[in-house]
Amino acid sequence: INILKLIFSSTGAHTQTLSANITRKCLKAAAVTLGVLYLLTLSGVFIRYILSSLEKDQLQRTYENLHNNHSQLQNELKKLQEKIAGMCCPEGWKRFGCSCYYKSTERKKWDESRTECLNREADLVVINSKEEQVSFLSTHD
């Protein structure tokens, strides 16, 4: 009977030791797996941070280029507007588009009207578009 007790007690101790070893090995494997996953996640976050930083720098350069181009275009527009404003029509004349018109209230013959226009460094009007005709007639009556 003592031998049986000894066999059963040694088998139980061996089973507990074996079970503890398996548990430790599983825990080590789980810890290693979690560690590897942590390192992979950390490296993924780091790589994404680097790529985001590079993209941000590229976007900043693009923004600065666009801002400079916009400023240059604004300056050019301002100069052109000043140039157009400097091309004012003489007093008593009306502007339509890039042309200046003068409508005389006097009735004259064609040759006399043409001579008066030439004296004003102008010419008799030739209206080429319906918009020009409507604008000229509506604002110069």
- Per CATH, which fold does 88-141 belong to? Mannose-Binding Protein A; Chain A (3.10.100)
Domain residue ranges of the chain, discontinuous segments joined by +: 88-141
Using DSSP's 3-state secondary structure scheme, residue 96 falls into strand
d(CA 87, CA 92): 14
Cβ neighbours of residue 47 under 8 Å, at least 6 residues apart?
none
Give the mean pLDDT of the chain: 82
pLDDT band at 18 (very low <50, low <70, confident <90, very high): low
Query: Model's pTM, two decimal places?
Result: 0.43
